[in-house]
């Protein structure tokens, strides 16, 4: 088993287990796909955390042993499989947090970038070493990294293959939180707890508004925002949230 899925009520924790550095092999990606499908189908899912076993690495990238035999079509097939799996996290109708307990390189960083919020162990390092292998990031890294930190800095780091510290990644906006050594999962769970208390329907529509809006003009993005706001106004969660506020009590959201 390369993937462990555990539940804490409505929080799903997906853990990569491929020691020593959690390489993203084809079997691991297949199990990761199964895990994300399970949490997508589970009605109780409110938040997901993706993390990894061990302290050395979150994920050290794809399985390089696959590369020597690749041709154009098999190369496209390989990266498209990874993209399909990672896109499921990016497009999931709930927040996905990444607890980066160690280095995240290549495909490992791309997995982290597909999540909504990244929490990095202060000892972690991140980078894209692909150009040193004669290839480029292939699981969405060229696209998500540039959108997150800007095209100039993304190009510099991808072109140079430089590995940067968690502190530098935080400064650039590639990660949202730094955690003390050994506490990235704990920090992620604290953040997840706050999110699980919110309306799951509102979280889903907020994520959609940001994800789809950023790809459009501000005008079109705001039109989408208005449409989603209107849809929420007819939801049970909106009624419950407003009523609970007025009654000074904790809301009990049902996601409808």
Give the active site residues.
110, 130
Q: What is d(CA 106, CA 124) in angstroms, rounded to the nearest whole number?
A: 14
Q: Which two tokens stand for residue 6?
A: 């555990």
Query: End-to-end alpha-carbon separation of the chain, Å?
Result: 35
Q: Which residues contact 101 (CB under 8 A, 6 or more apart)?
A: 51, 52, 54, 55, 57, 58, 121, 124, 182, 184, 185
Alpha carbon separation from 13 to 26, 39, 41 (Å, rounded): 21, 10, 15
Q: What is d(CA 231, CA 223) in angstroms, rounded to the nearest whole number?
A: 13
Pick from 36, 29, 4: nearest CA to 17: 4
Beta bridge partner(s), residue 52: 16
Pick from 57, 173, 53: nearest CA to 124: 57
How far is C-alpha 193 from the geometric centre of its chain's CA atoms?
A: 17
Neighbours of 9 (CB within 10 A): 9
Q: Which residues contact 241 (CB under 8 A, 6 or more apart)?
A: 199, 202, 251, 253
């Amino acid at each position: 088993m390369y993937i462990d899925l555990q539940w804490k009520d409505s929080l799903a924790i997906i853990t990569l287990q491929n020691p020593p550095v959690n390489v993203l092999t084809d079997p691991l990606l297949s199990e990761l796909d199964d895990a994300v499908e399970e949490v997508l189908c589970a009605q109780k899912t409110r938040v997901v955390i993706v993390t990894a076993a061990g302290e050395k690495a979150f994920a050290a990238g794809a399985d390089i042993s696959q590369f020597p035999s690749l041709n154009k079509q098999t190369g496209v097939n390989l990266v498209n499989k990874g993209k399909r799996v990672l896109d499921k996290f990016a497009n999931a109708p709930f927040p996905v947090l990444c607890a980066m307990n160690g280095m995240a390189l290549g495909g490992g960083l791309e997995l982290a970038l597909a999540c909504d919020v990244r929490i990095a162990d202060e000892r972690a390092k991140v980078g894209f070493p692909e150009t040193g292998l004669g290839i480029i990031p292939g699981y969405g890294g060229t696209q998500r990294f540039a959108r997150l930190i800007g095209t100039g800095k993304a190009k510099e780091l991808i072109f140079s293959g430089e590995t940067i510290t968690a502190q530098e990644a935080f400064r650039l906006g590639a990660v949202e939180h730094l955690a003390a050594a050994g506490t990235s999962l704990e920090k992620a769970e604290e953040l997840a707890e706050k999110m699980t208390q919110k309306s799951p329907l509102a979280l889903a529509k907020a994520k959609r508004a940001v994800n789809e809006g950023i790809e459009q003009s501000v005008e079109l993005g705001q039109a989408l925002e208005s449409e989603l706001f209107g849809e929420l106004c007819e939801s049970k969660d909106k009624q419950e949230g407003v009523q609970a506020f007025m009654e000074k009590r904790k809301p009990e959201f049902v996601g409808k």
